[in-house]
Amino acid sequence: MLGYLQWQQKALEEITRAEIEAEAPKQKIGEEEQVIDVVTDLEVKKIYVLASKEIKNSNHILERFRAEDCDKKDHDATTCSCCISFRHAMMSREKSRPLISLFWVCLKDTLSPKDLTTLYNDEYNGLGIRKDWKVVIFKKKQEESRIIIGFMEI
């Protein structure tokens, strides 16, 4: 059962500087977004990059899985290559979730009491990661306030 923890530790160690460059956040800072911090720790960047890689991996597999159009009738799902791919994709997605949480916790853990107040005392405020590893606080649209909007924004 320690498999995941061992995988995570090894996968984080193996993230290269080139991968960090390639997978770095690309979204530009929005007009009304306020920059409150910058991610400088290599280990925190690696967590983001690994999560991003796992999400891409699962999306990639799921696209192929749909394309293969697996016939669910009359077949052994334990040995079907299509179904095996689907299970790999689901596991990749599961593996990314603790990494995503870990990334945001690392960020929030170092915020000032003032920024934490801004974040938690108004349900419409969210924390985001932008180009050049800038951490921003932004106003969510009213209808999005209770939804997690993907990996880049919470």
* 64 versus 97: smaller Cβ distance to Zn ion: 64
In sequence order, the 6+-apart residues with CB closer than 8 A to the CB of 98 are 8
CB of residue 74 to Zn ion, shortest distance in Å: 10
> With contact defined as beta carbons under 8 Å apart, do 87 and 70 qualify?
no
112: region left, alpha or beta (phi > 0 left; psi from -120 to 50 alpha): beta
Residue 71 sits at the vertex; the CA angle it makes with 67 and 76, to the nearest 5 degrees, is 120
Distance of CA 134 to the CA centre of its chain: 16
Q: Which residue ranges make up the site for Zn ion (CB under 5 A)?
A: 70, 80, 82-83
Q: State in angstroms the smallest separation of the CB of 70 from Zn ion.
A: 4
Kindly state the tokens that stand for 132: 């050049």
- Residue (84 or 149) nearer to Zn ion, CB: 84
Cβ at position 67, least distance to Zn ion in Å = 13
State in angstroms the smallest separation of the CB of 79 from Zn ion.
Answer: 9
In the complex with Zn ion, the residue whose CB is nearer, 74 or 143, is 74
Give me the residue whose beta carbon is nearest to Zn ion.
80
- Cβ-based nearer residue to Zn ion, 69 or 109: 69
Half-sphere exposure of 66 (CA within 13 A, CB side): 5
